[in-house]
């Protein structure tokens, strides 16, 4: 109430009623000596408003001074007056900070007076929307005091504390302090609300029940911020948050569900929490909320599915709950396309759920490939959305009929164009979807016309190991099904040297994919001659002692096809590649057996290599391989044994001839 209104009302009632400011001044004069009053007067004269600073700045600073007086009544009234100002404006926040108002507000949290605490928290909860003030509150030790007040029996106080933690915990240091001062178990305890309150509309709840619901909502919001830390998620899980969040998820109150799903979405970054979401039966409830009107709620639901759908059981649960249809419908909705975070979450969920063949069947019925290609048409589309769209297409194109669909809707040019982008996660996915396209002859012709193979090859220079690996892996079918692959590869200036140099990489996945590409390149004799000149043989030999199964498989294949040029076969044996390769035959992986037998077959064309193989004990492995049902393995093993046997027969023949000649000489 202003002074004018106060005077008017006092005249009407015939009695003296003092306004808040008059009351504060009187209180201060009663509790202060004359020297303090003189000092205050001098301060006011010295701090007269400057033209560029609004009057509210000085008014707020006066209110903070009244709070500093130590008088309880003056403090409460000052807080009420302070709350009347717009604390979201920078100048008003500056007024509080400049005079040390934050320290005063935080100190008030230590008092035993409930009104002072409520007033201070109502101001802090609004001020803490500013990032700089969040840091100040944290640095001043405000988090420990906020956590202490969570155990206060006053429910309205608990709500304000939780809301303030929600704001302040947006910064990393504050989240760490919440964990350090044991605030997470206390917040989790506040989630425990009677299930009847959660399932009853608010207009039918008693005031006490409504307050309990509001406490749970505030606690869920606080945990939403706190859960941005992995360590905090682990503490939340140990504190029993999973069943409580599952219970809140089934609430009828949307303002409770939104922070709950937001918290679950954050926690879903942790693999153990993903399993808990599945076992607690949350997937069905999350799918139901995909149809909610609130875009932020739909976004968090889709994000949760995106993070959890790496697991096959969760993907099946999403399909069984009817979650695939709303995802595709949202992707088609023009309104969703304007909301980039929502669109990214939806396309991400489609991507991960499409890993299951059963889900792709449903997506095919919904014409999902066409929907995804439509999203690629927007040249200014968000890169995260593009990454997810390409990932989803990659999963769908593992089925032959979808490759034809993609070609019919002219999706390949959009995919090839994405190779010109620089966003690493996007460049990880684009080569993989083009790899699937390259398996189709007609699609491969389009990729060649668009110079897509050259663009894929250029990704080998990318700094990201995953981009390098996926690019090399994508080159395998591109080279295999190209019209004239040998000539095409030779046209890439410096391309063969680039891929050979990647054999120096320290990443096993990169090495495996590069070896697979080299095996395909080496099928052309001219290209094999070029990579031999670039030193491919000693580089491959340097890798033979690896324990990585994937690398063993493709390394053996590369060695097999590199034997066809010049003295490469002999060089492999001389550099010591034979004995480690024989050891590969003891591996449990049948794919390793197949490529290793092929390598041994080609190496066995050199007599010295046959001797080394025999001495390394390869024969029992080859005999076992011949007994398998794998035709390629049988053929390679039999060929290797034939070469060893041929050498043995030749050696025996030579030995017999020499023995006969010696006998003849003795007779003579």
Backbone angles phi, psi at 575, to 5 degrees: -85, 0
With H, G, I as helix, E, B as strand and everything else as coil, classify residue 524: coil
Confidence label for 646 from pLDDT (cuts 50, 70 and 90) = confident
Give the span between the Cα atoms of 429 and 395, in whole angstroms: 10
| Residue 75 confidence class, pLDDT cut points 50, 70, 90 | confident
- 3-state secondary structure string across 404-452: HHHHHCCCHHHHHHHHHCCCHHHHHHHHHHHHHHHCCHHHHHHHHHCCH
For residues 588-616, average pLDDT: 92
Q: How far apart are CA 328 and CA 241, in angstroms?
A: 32
pLDDT of residue 32: 35
Q: Is the distance from CB of 305 to CB of 352 less than 8 angstroms?
A: yes
Tell me which residue of 218, 287, 284 sits closest to 253, measured CA to CA. Answer: 218
Whole-number percent of the chain with pLDDT over 70: 89
pLDDT at 89 over 90: no
State the average pLDDT for the chain: 88
Count of C-beta atoms within a 10 Å radius of residue 37: 13
Q: Across residues 311-330, what is the average pLDDT?
A: 95
pLDDT interval class at 44 (50, 70, 90): very low
More confidently predicted of 189 and 654: 189
User: What sign for the dihedral angle of Cα 36, 39, 43, 44?
Assistant: positive
The DSSP result for 80-98, as a single string, is HHHHTS-TTSHHHHHHHHH
The C-alpha atoms of residue 595 and residue 546 are separated, in whole angstroms, by 15
**Above 60 in pLDDT, residue 20?**
no
pLDDT digits (tens, 9 = 90+) for 304-319: 999 999 999 999 999 9
What is the per-residue pLDDT for 86?
A: 82
> How far apart are the C-alpha atoms of 387 and 174, rounded to whole Å?
33
Nearest residue to 331 (alpha-carbon basis) of 293, 393, 374:
374
Q: What is the pLDDT of residues 386-431, one digit of tens each?
A: 999 999 999 999 999 999 999 999 999 999 999 999 999 999 999 9
């Amino acid at each position: 109430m202003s002074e004018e209104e106060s005077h008017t009302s006092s005249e009407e009632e015939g009695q003296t009623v003092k306004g808040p400011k008059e009351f504060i001044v009187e209180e201060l004069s009663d509790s202060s000596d004359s020297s303090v009053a003189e000092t205050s007067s001098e301060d006011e004269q010295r701090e007269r408003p400057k033209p560029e600073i609004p009057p509210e700045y000085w008014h707020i600073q006066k209110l903070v001074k009244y709070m500093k007086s130590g008088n309880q009544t003056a403090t409460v009234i000052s807080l009420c007056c302070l709350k009347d100002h717009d604390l979201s404006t920078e100048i008003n926040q500056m007024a509080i900070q400049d005079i040390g108002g934050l320290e005063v507000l935080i100190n008030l949290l230590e008092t035993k007076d409930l009104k002072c605490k409520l007033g201070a928290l109502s101001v802090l909860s609004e001020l803490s929307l500013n990032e700089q003030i969040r840091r100040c509150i944290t640095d001043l030790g405000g988090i420990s005091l906020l956590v202490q007040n969570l155990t206060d029996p006053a429910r309205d106080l608990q709500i304000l504390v939780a809301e303030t933690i929600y704001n302040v915990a947006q910064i990393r240091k504050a989240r760490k302090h919440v964990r350090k001062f044991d605030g997470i178990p206390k917040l989790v305890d506040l989630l425990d609300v009677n299930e009847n309150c959660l399932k009853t509309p608010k207009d039918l709840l008693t005031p006490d029940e409504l307050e309990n619901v509001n406490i749970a909502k505030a606690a869920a919001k606080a945990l939403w911020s706190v859960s941005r830390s992995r360590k905090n998620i682990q503490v939340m899980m140990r504190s029993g948050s999973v069943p409580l969040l599952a219970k809140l998820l089934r609430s009828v109150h949307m303002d409770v569900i939104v922070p709950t799903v937001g918290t679950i979405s954050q926690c879903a970054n942790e693999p153990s929490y993903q399993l808990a979401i599945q076992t607690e039966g949350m997937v069905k409830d999350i799918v139901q909320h995909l149809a909610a009107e609130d875009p932020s709620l739909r976004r968090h639901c889709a994000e949760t599915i995106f993070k959890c759908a790496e697991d096959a059981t969760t993907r099946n649960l999403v399909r069984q709950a009817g979650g695939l249809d709303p995802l595709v419908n949202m992707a088609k909705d023009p309104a969703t396309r304007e909301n980039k975070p929502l669109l990214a979450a939806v396309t991400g969920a489609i991507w991960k759920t499409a890993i299951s063949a059963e889900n792709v069947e449903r997506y095919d019925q919904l014409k999902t490939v066409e929907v995804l290609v439509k999203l690629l048409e927007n040249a200014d589309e968000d890169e995260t959305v593009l990454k997810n769209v390409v990932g989803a297409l990659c999963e769908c194109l593992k089925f032959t009929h979808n490759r034809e669909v993609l070609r019919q809707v002219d999706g390949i040019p959009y995919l090839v164009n994405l190779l010109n982008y620089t966003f690493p996660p996007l460049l990880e996915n684009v080569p993989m979807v083009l790899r699937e396209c390259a398996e189709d002859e007609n699609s491969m012709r389009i990729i060649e016309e668009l110079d897509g193979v050259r663009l894929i090859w250029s990704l080998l220079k990318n700094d990201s190991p995953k981009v390098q690996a996926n690019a090399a892996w994508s080159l395998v079918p591109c080279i295999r099904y190209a019209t004239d692959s040998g000539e095409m590869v030779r046209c890439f200036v410096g391309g063969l040297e680039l891929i050979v140099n990647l054999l120096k990489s320290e990443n096993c996945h990169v090495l495996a994919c590069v070896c697979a590409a080299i095996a395909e390149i080496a099928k052309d004799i001219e290209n094999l001659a070029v990579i031999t000149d670039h030193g491919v043989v000693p580089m491959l030999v340097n890798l033979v002692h690896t324990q990585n199964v994937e690398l063993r498989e493709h390394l053996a294949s590369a060695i097999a096809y590199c034997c066809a040029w010049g003295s490469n076969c002999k060089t492999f044996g001389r550099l010591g590649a034979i004995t480690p390769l024989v050891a590969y035959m003891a591996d449990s992986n049948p794919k390793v057996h197949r490529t290793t037998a092929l390598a041994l077959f080609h190496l066995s064309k050199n007599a010295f290599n046959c001797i080394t193989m025999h001495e390394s004990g390869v024969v029992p492995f080859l005999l076992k391989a011949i007994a398998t049902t794998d035709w390629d393995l049988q053929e390679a093993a039999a060929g290797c044994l034939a070469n060893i046997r041929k050498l043995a027969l030749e050696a025996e023949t030579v030995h017999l001839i020499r023995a006969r000649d010696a006998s003849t000489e003795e007779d003579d």
